Amino acid sequence: MSRQRVLRSGLRARLREEWKVEVDDYVTALAWSADASRLAVALGSGPIAVLDAADGSACQRHEGHGMGTLALAWRPEGDELASAGQDGLARIWRDGERAVEVAGGASWVERLSWSPDGSRLATSAGRCLRIWDTAGNLQHDLASPEIIYDIGWRPSGRGIAAAGYGGVRIWRWDRLDKPRHLQWKGASLRLAWSPDGDYIATGDQDASVHFWMTASGHDLMASGYDTKVRHLSWDSSSRFLATAGGSDVLVWDCSGKGPAGTRPRSAEVHEAGVGALAFQHQGRWLASGDGQGRLVAWDPRIGPKTVGGASVGGPVTQLAWSPDDRRCAVATSTGEVVVFEFSQE
Amino acid sequence: MTVSETDLLTANGAEARVPVTVLTGFLGAGKTTLLNRILTEQHGKRIAVIENEFGEVGIDQALVIGAEEELFEMNNGCICCTVRGDLIRILGTLMRRRDRFDYILVETTGMADPGPVAQTFFVDDEMQEQLRLDGIVTLVDAKHVSQHFEDSAEVREQIAFADVILLNKTDLVEPGDLDELEARIRLMNAAARIHRTRDAAVDLDRILNIGGFDLGRAIQIDPKFMEAEHPFEWVGVYELGADPAQLRLQPGPDPTMNALLLPVGAATPEALEQLLMPAILAFSDEPAVLESGGRIAPSGLHELVLGDAESVFDLDVRTSPPHLPGGQGGQIVSLEGCYALFTQHLPAEFRAVVHGAGGPLTPHLEREFAPDHVHDKAVTSVGLTIPGDLDPKRLNAWMGGLLQTQGPDIFRMKGVLSIAGDDRRFVFQGVHMLFDGRPDRPWGESARENRLIFIGRNLDRAALTEGFKGCLVNAS
């Protein structure tokens, strides 16, 4: 079957297992290097394994963070891996060596994010949001009155947002002393900027999703989830926001006048709680994995008939598309890391 | 284990969720000593400890994680409650290392309100799925706690919330004082198990996996604490009627005292027990004022006015038929016989003595009741035992209204209910406004009745009793 024909009739996702390795521990983070050659895997007890993306063989193993590694991020366009954990530290690994080590400001460094151009690294720990250069020099030390649950760079790189109890705060580099506060009386657990920067979406403890319009500060709220909303992902066109709370995957359409008054799309594909979810980086496909090890991919523009699936040996905790969107890596709480080749049929 | 619990169990019948014990206690009560024991002694249990007051220390036998207190207001359906965001975060992360421990112990700071901690386990779906709040253990400094009863809401709440209370530092307190303290704590929380400890030495099985929030064990409360609050401090049973008798009192701490005389079938504890409820009801009536020289008839409540000298009241049971409790009208009874004299205060406070023709009479039976004034004004337990079947609609309406208006004041609530038309016991428990209940095993041979206990602030026993009775199917 020629590739062209597949694309033309490509209505159904196909996930074919390429390789699988056992890492014998809860996988807390998974990240592809920018060139898609390596996959970094963080474990609950602390170590970080860097695997060859071709076959899963180990390239490097770092001791990681004592008490547990919480976050991993490869530098965009670069070859450096950043990690953060329960030892209160963030590190940058270069050529397998620890090149930089910085203190996050509280006992756990929970979030880590490179600026879109890869020139700066943001870390959040407790109420501290710190911005570093690639050599580990502190650029900005920002304080939030509330504990920070998630962070996200403005897609333009001109600012950064932090979510927590009380809503979202956005800092702009030219007005650091006066962060903008998008106020909500509840705890926002996850934050995601739409790629065009028009929206900030949050997933909330009180089983809701908020859409903040960044230009006006206007807030739309979607409630009715079974549980708190722990997973968010925008598609590259900024049209769709995929959300998950419990076993529901709901996809909101922000085209036209926005999501107000619309009903979300759903494929009702999971019977257990969703543990991870992500849109492709450029493509239209959405993948999600659940507590029973079921992995599915579908195209929300077309609907449930596009659903294709696979399964892994334990509850899914992590899911990451390769930078070229051709592969999808999944990891479980039981220590399985599986890479699937994605195609349409 | 009942069938309805199976959804919480794994395929092999084991409870899959990790039990969590919450340890509370005022500063200096001995929490650190207890934690050190848990972390260093060879007790063979794998316990993850979440510590609130100190930094993070990794110890072989247990994981210790420092937690920064963070309160969330959270909307949970129509009710709003406060939960601990830090616990959700920390426990969520801790559960990634599920294979490393069998129990979790969460230490709270001395000033922490246990309410949000407990609520966290009921409103967060992730917590509910993986963890089971097993019990709240409160350490009490036996030497100093009483001085905090008045000034510290935290101390009262920590006691009120507890499933287990460790009365610690017993070596620093006289045994008599300890008994008094225990009695006082009992009045605040009638449902907790109390253990006396020294240097916080306690068998861990008494604080771990105790099932404090287990519905099946919802109401394992010592029945004697389910009894009503007594508006009288003393009762004595005398044989009256053959000869004239008088109650003589000397001036005492109060200018008046309420007294009630009721006939009792026999001078036995059982017969007396049956008389307690009618006596409590009579004490809630408006008393008839009686000056010295007056007659205490065996019906209705009297307020004895006590003068500057000895006051004397006739205990004359022969001149009028007694008013029998329970409306036993038309029944022919002998006027001579046993009578119970209930007094608002202890007779010793007024050197009160019953005199017969031949001098002072000794009661055949007497009993003292815990006096009202040692009740903590803010925190009490109200235990109700009420026969009858409940109308579920009325119960829902009443409970809903009660929790909305008094939810913040009701710390804990547990009970077993008899629902009309259901042959199973209905067990429930609640924390503040959160309520959890389900049908349990069939009543079988045991008598159907409603037993429930409220532990909280500003609880009005009469209103709770009346409200609850209004939920019975035969209520008007």
Read off the pLDDT band of B324 (50, 70, 90).
very low
Q: Which residues pair with B365 in a beta bridge?
A: B237
Please check the confidence at residue B206 and state whether its pLDDT lies above 70.
yes
- C-alpha A53/C-alpha B363 separation (Å) is 92
Angle at A119 between CA A114 and CA A125, to 5 degrees: 40
pLDDT of residue B374: 42
Strands B164-168 and B131-141: parallel
Kindly list the residues from chain A whose CB atom is less than 8 angstroms away from the CB atom of residue B74: 186-187, 205-206
**Which of A86-95, B116-125, B310-319, B436-445 reaches the highest mean pLDDT?**
A86-95
Query: Which residues of chain B are at the A interface, by a Cβ-Cβ cutoff of 8 Å?
Result: 55-56, 58, 63, 65-66, 68, 70, 72-76, 85-86, 88-89, 93, 96-98, 124-126, 129
Please check the confidence at residue B226 and state whether its pLDDT lies above 80.
no
Number of Cβ within 10 Å of residue B326's Cβ equals 8
Query: Which residues of chain A are at the B interface, by a Cβ-Cβ cutoff of 8 Å?
Result: 26, 28, 44-45, 66-68, 70, 86, 106-108, 126, 146-147, 149, 165, 185-187, 205-206, 226-228, 246, 273, 333
B97 to chain A: closest CA residue: A44
Read off the pLDDT band of B4 (50, 70, 90).
very low
- C-alpha B405/C-alpha B408 separation (Å) is 8
Kindly list the residues from chain B whose CB atom is less than 8 angstroms away from the CB atom of residue A107: 55-56, 65-66, 68
Mean pLDDT of B206-210: 90
pLDDT of residue B224: 45
Mean pLDDT of B118-130: 88
Backbone angles phi, psi at B85, to 5 degrees: -60, -35
**DSSP assigned state of A239:** S
Kindly list the residues from chain A whose CB atom is less than 8 angstroms away from the CB atom of residue B68: 106-107, 126, 147
Instruction: Of A109, A110, A89, A108, give the one whose Cα is nearest residue A100.
Output: A89
* A71-114 pLDDT per residue, tens: 999 999 888 999 999 899 999 999 889 999 999 998 889 999 99
Higher pLDDT among residues A308 and A2, named by residue: A308
For the ranges A47-51, B105-109, B200-204, the lowest mean pLDDT is seen at: B105-109
Read off the pLDDT band of B373 (50, 70, 90).
very low
Higher pLDDT among residues A18 and B433, named by residue: A18
Read off the pLDDT band of A341 (50, 70, 90).
very high
- Residues with Cβ within 8 Å of A304's Cβ and at least 6 positions away in sequence, in order, are A267, A268, A269, A298
Higher pLDDT among residues B379 and A7, named by residue: B379
**DSSP assigned state of B421:** T
Instruction: Of B124, B171, B165, B173, give the one whose Cα is nearest residue B144.
Output: B173
- Helix, strand, coil % in chain A, rounded to nearest 5: 5, 55, 40
CB-CB: which of B63, B85, B96 is closest to A187? B85
Please check the confidence at residue B2 and state whether its pLDDT lies above 70.
no
Size of interface A-B (CB pairs under 8 A): 62
**For all residues of chain A together, what is the average pLDDT?**
93
Instruction: Of B413, B415, B410, give the one whose Cα is nearest residue B426.
Output: B415
Higher pLDDT among residues B9 and B380, named by residue: B380
Kindly list the residues from chain A whose CB atom is less than 8 angstroms away from the CB atom of residue B56: 67, 86, 107
CA distance B95 to chain A (A): 10
pLDDT of residue B11: 39
**Which of A136-140, B22-26, B272-276 reaches the highest mean pLDDT?**
A136-140
Read off the pLDDT band of B325 (50, 70, 90).
very low
Number of Cβ within 10 Å of residue A16's Cβ equals 11
CA distances from B293 to A31, B247, B334 (A): 95, 10, 25
Read off the pLDDT band of A289 (50, 70, 90).
very high
- C-alpha B344/C-alpha B414 separation (Å) is 31
Q: What percent of chain B has pLDDT over 70?
A: 83
Contact in structure between B456 and B406 (CB atoms under 8 Å):
yes
A317 to chain B: closest CA residue: B96
For the ranges A86-100, A116-130, A261-275, B101-115, the lowest mean pLDDT is seen at: B101-115
Q: Please count the residues of chain B.
A: 476
Do A186 and B129 make contact, defined as CB atoms within 8 angstroms? Answer: no
Do B72 and A68 make contact, defined as CB atoms within 8 angstroms? Answer: no
Read off the pLDDT band of A2 (50, 70, 90).
very low
Higher pLDDT among residues B300 and B341, named by residue: B341
- C-alpha A281/C-alpha A279 separation (Å) is 6
Higher pLDDT among residues B234 and B214, named by residue: B234
pLDDT of residue B222: 46
- C-alpha B158/C-alpha B174 separation (Å) is 24
**DSSP assigned state of B228:** P
- C-alpha B135/C-alpha B121 separation (Å) is 11
Counting Cβ atoms within 10 Å, is residue A156 exposed (0-12), middle (13-18) or buried (19+)? exposed
CA distance A21 to chain B (A): 19
* Concatenated DSSP letters of A248-288: EEEEEE-STT-STT---B-----SS-EEEEEE-SSSS-EEE
Number of Cβ within 10 Å of residue B248's Cβ equals 16
- Please report the sign of the dihedral spanned by the C-alpha atoms of residue B354, residue B358, residue B359, residue B364: negative
Kindly list the residues from chain A whose CB atom is less than 8 angstroms away from the CB atom of residue B49: none
Do A106 and B68 make contact, defined as CB atoms within 8 angstroms? Answer: yes
For the ranges A104-113, A307-316, B116-125, B157-166, the lowest mean pLDDT is seen at: B116-125
CB-CB: which of A28, A107, A187 is closest to B56? A107
- C-alpha A336/C-alpha B149 separation (Å) is 54
Do A44 and B126 make contact, defined as CB atoms within 8 angstroms? Answer: no
Contact in structure between B454 and B431 (CB atoms under 8 Å):
no
Would you state the structure tokens that stand for residue B6, as one six-digit string?
Answer: 């199976």
Mean pLDDT of A305-324: 96
Backbone angles phi, psi at B293, to 5 degrees: 100, -15
Return the H-helix or E-strand segment holding B338.
strand B337-343
3-state secondary structure of B278: helix
Contact in structure between A41 and A329 (CB atoms under 8 Å):
no
Please check the confidence at residue B135 and state whether its pLDDT lies above 70.
yes
pLDDT of residue A202: 98
Do B125 and A227 make contact, defined as CB atoms within 8 angstroms? Answer: yes
Counting Cβ atoms within 10 Å, is residue B462 exposed (0-12), middle (13-18) or buried (19+)? exposed
pLDDT of residue A196: 96
Please check the confidence at residue B456 and state whether its pLDDT lies above 60.
yes
pLDDT of residue A287: 98
- C-alpha B32/C-alpha B200 separation (Å) is 9
Instruction: Of A2, A14, A74, give the one whose Cα is nearest residue A326.
Output: A14
Please check the confidence at residue B199 and state whether its pLDDT lies above 50.
yes
- Residues with Cβ within 8 Å of B204's Cβ and at least 6 positions away in sequence, in order, are B38, B43, B45
Instruction: Of B21, B282, B291, give the one whose Cα is nearest residue B134.
Output: B21
Please check the confidence at residue B304 and state whether its pLDDT lies above 90.
yes
Chain mean position to CA A77: 18
pLDDT of residue B229: 58
For the ranges A144-158, B75-89, B421-435, the lowest mean pLDDT is seen at: B75-89
CB-CB: which of B65, B72, B98 is closest to A187? B72
CA distance B73 to chain A (A): 7
Mean pLDDT of B22-39: 87
* A187-231 pLDDT per residue, tens: 999 999 999 999 999 999 999 999 999 999 999 999 889 899 999
Listed in sequence order, the DSSP H helices in A27-97 are none
First to last CA, chain A: 10
Number of Cβ within 10 Å of residue B244's Cβ equals 14
Residue B368 Rama label (left phi>0; alpha psi -120 to 50; beta): beta
* A46-74 pLDDT per residue, tens: 999 999 999 999 999 998 898 789 999 99
Chain mean position to CA A273: 17
Q: Please count the residues of chain A.
A: 345
Please check the confidence at residue B8 and state whether its pLDDT lies above 80.
no
- Please report the sign of the dihedral spanned by the C-alpha atoms of residue B363, residue B367, residue B371, residue B372: negative
Please check the confidence at residue B316 and state whether its pLDDT lies above 80.
no
- C-alpha B229/C-alpha B187 separation (Å) is 9
Strands B18-25 and B103-107: parallel
Q: Which residues pair with A287 in a beta bridge?
A: A278, A297
Please check the confidence at residue A294 and state whether its pLDDT lies above 80.
yes
pLDDT of residue B66: 65
Q: Which residues pair with B355 in a beta bridge?
A: B246, B360
Higher pLDDT among residues B56 and B116, named by residue: B116
Q: Which residues pair with B85 in a beta bridge?
A: none
Kindly list the residues from chain A whose CB atom is less than 8 angstroms away from the CB atom of residue B85: 147, 165, 187, 205
CA distance B326 to chain A (A): 53
CA distance A84 to chain B (A): 14
Chain mean position to CA B81: 24
Do B96 and A28 make contact, defined as CB atoms within 8 angstroms? Answer: yes
Do A45 and B68 make contact, defined as CB atoms within 8 angstroms? Answer: no
Q: What is the CA radius of gyration of chain A?
A: 19
Read off the pLDDT band of B150 (50, 70, 90).
confident
CB-CB: which of A67, A86, A185 is closest to B73? A185
pLDDT of residue B223: 45
**For all residues of chain B together, what is the average pLDDT?**
81
- C-alpha A223/C-alpha B98 separation (Å) is 31
Read off the pLDDT band of B114 (50, 70, 90).
confident
Please check the confidence at residue A160 and state whether its pLDDT lies above 80.
yes
pLDDT of residue A1: 41
Q: Which of B69, B70, B123 to mutate to test the interface with A (most CBs of A within 10 A)?
A: B70
Read off the pLDDT band of B230 (50, 70, 90).
confident
B90 to chain A: closest CA residue: A108
Kindly provide the b/e burial profile for residues B286-317, where b requires at least 16 CB atoms within 10 angstroms of the residue's own CB: ebeebeeebebbbbebbebebeeeebebbbbb
Mean pLDDT of B415-422: 91
CA distance B90 to chain A (A): 10
CA distance A101 to chain B (A): 20
Mean pLDDT of B167-175: 93
pLDDT of residue B318: 66
Return the H-helix or E-strand segment holding B139.
strand B131-141
Mean pLDDT of B390-404: 90
CA distances from B90 to A172, A317, B48, B64 (A): 30, 17, 11, 11
- Biggest CA pair distance of chain B: 82
Kindly list the residues from chain B whose CB atom is less than 8 angstroms away from the CB atom of residue A186: 72-75
Please check the confidence at residue B140 and state whether its pLDDT lies above 70.
yes
Kindly list the residues from chain B whose CB atom is less than 8 angstroms away from the CB atom of residue A165: 70, 72, 85
Do B63 and A106 make contact, defined as CB atoms within 8 angstroms? Answer: no
pLDDT of residue B99: 84
Number of Cβ within 10 Å of residue A257's Cβ equals 8
